[in-house]
Amino acid sequence: MSEAADSKECKLKHMKCELNVLSKSDGSAILSQGETVTLISVNGPLDIKVQNQSIEKCYLEVLFCTKGGRPSVPDRYKEHIIRQTCESAIMGSLYPRTGITVTIQELEDYGGLLSCTINCACLALLNSGLAMRYVFAAVSCAVDETGNVILEPKYQEVMNAKAILNFVFDSRNKNLITGFSEGIFSEAAYDEALEMSRAASDLVFLFYRDIVTKYSNVI
């Protein structure tokens, strides 16, 4: 496994990743951010039912499997967010009348599951060899009871947070491509979290580069 160096300024959770962990998928990755761990496989382009085919682009399906069992309504919401993020990055017009399936398995959730899952999805897509407009990186923040913004909060900080904010940026111009939040926060706290997350995304992109370089050299 490759590891990302800790940053005193951004204080991102320690990251570890391994690619090609599933032999029967077109791409796969297992990623840990701190103690939160996600496993993702990508299959496709595949033949799909006629009713799901599009002459303009591929059909993207995202399946979220929880550690505890049957998916809940919040899990379906996660699927929706992840699907929208992946669809914006994949060059679907190159794969008309086909389908791509992204299967997510939650292994451990100690805070930041959604951002860890989105980052793992990006790595699995890269491993699959699908054409992409850009890669993307997710960063999460918490707002505590006093209004302070905490970058990449730990489990207890998430449990005690007044709000959780998640941001996803593209690798080209660091534009915000997806944003989702829960809880109550001020406009100032949102702006601070956004800029902190945008700066921290640089470390995630550097981590991707290290991982891809490592596996490219192996191939």
Nearest-angstrom CA–CA distance, 146 and 119: 29
**Both tokens assigned to 162:** 């007044």
Strand partners, 214: none
Q: What is residue 5's predicted lDDT score, i.e. its pLDDT?
A: 38
Strand partners, 65: 105
Higher pLDDT, 218 or 5: 218
CB 171 within 8 A of CB 137: yes
Structural domain includes residue 4: no
* Distance from the first to the final alpha carbon of the chain: 16
Structural domain includes residue 107: yes
Structural domain includes residue 203: yes
Provide the mean pLDDT of the chain: 91
**Both tokens assigned to 75:** 């899990």
**Tens of pLDDT along 33-79?**
999 999 999 999 999 888 889 899 999 999 999 887 777 787 888 88
**Tens of pLDDT along 101-157?**
999 999 999 999 999 999 999 999 999 999 999 999 999 999 999 999 999 999 999
Q: What letter would DSSP give residue 90?
A: B
Q: Whole domain around residue 98: which residue ranges? A: 12-218
pLDDT range class, residue 218, cuts 50, 70, 90: low
CB 25 within 8 A of CB 43: yes
Structural domain includes residue 123: yes
- Comparing CA positions, the residue from 25, 91, 19 lying closest to residue 60 is 91
For residue 130, give the amino acid letter: L
Q: Is the CA virtual torsion 83, 87, 92, 96 positive or negative?
A: positive
Structural domain includes residue 52: yes
Structural domain includes residue 6: no
**Tens of pLDDT along 180-202?**
999 999 999 999 999 999 999 99
Whether the model pTM is above 0.85: yes
Q: What is the CATH number of the domain that holds 124?
A: 3.30.230.70
Q: What is residue 194's predicted lDDT score, i.e. its pLDDT?
A: 97
Q: How many domains does the chain have?
A: 1
**Tens of pLDDT along 172-181?**
999 999 999 9
Structural domain includes residue 141: yes
